[in-house]
Amino acid sequence: MKKLQPIQTLSLVLIFIFSITGILSLNSCAPTSAISAKSGVQLWGENCQRCHNTPSPMTFSPQQWETIGMHMQTRALLTQDEKDKIVGFLKSSR
């Protein structure tokens, strides 16, 4: 095999380092298990009173909570999973 020039060796090392940091940073975008393990009631308590007092689960019907959930998901910048958990909690505690 032809001996590599120093610049070629350097390029290979750089490609290697960039791939590793790329893979590591992709990995860090996944929510930690601590966040994804949060329950609906916990997410409700943490997110739904940032802008207003949260009406009690009794205030609206399950159908209304579905609609409100979609509306507030976009306002509160919640993920689908977080919204589903919160709406699930609101519907089940009536």
94 is an interface residue for ligand HEC by CB under 6 A: no
Of 41, 45, 66, 76, which one interacts with ligand HEC (CB under 6 A)? 76
Of 9, 14, 36, 75, which one interacts with ligand HEC (CB under 6 A)? 75
What is the Cβ-side half-sphere exposure of residue 50, based on CA atoms within 13 angstroms?
Answer: 11
Per the CB < 8 A criterion, the answer to whether 45 and 82 are in contact is no
How many angstroms separate the Cα of 64 from the Cα of each of 5, 58, 61, 90? 68, 11, 5, 10
Residues of span 32-61 touching ligand HEC by CB under 6 A: 47-48, 50-52, 54-55
Smallest separation (angstroms) from ligand HEC to the CB of 47: 5
Smallest separation (angstroms) from ligand HEC to the CB of 21: 34
φ, ψ for residue 41, nearest 5 deg: -65, -35
User: Two tokens at 48?
Assistant: 């739904």
Site of interaction with ligand HEC (CB under 6 A): 47-48, 50-52, 54-55, 68, 71-72, 75-76, 86
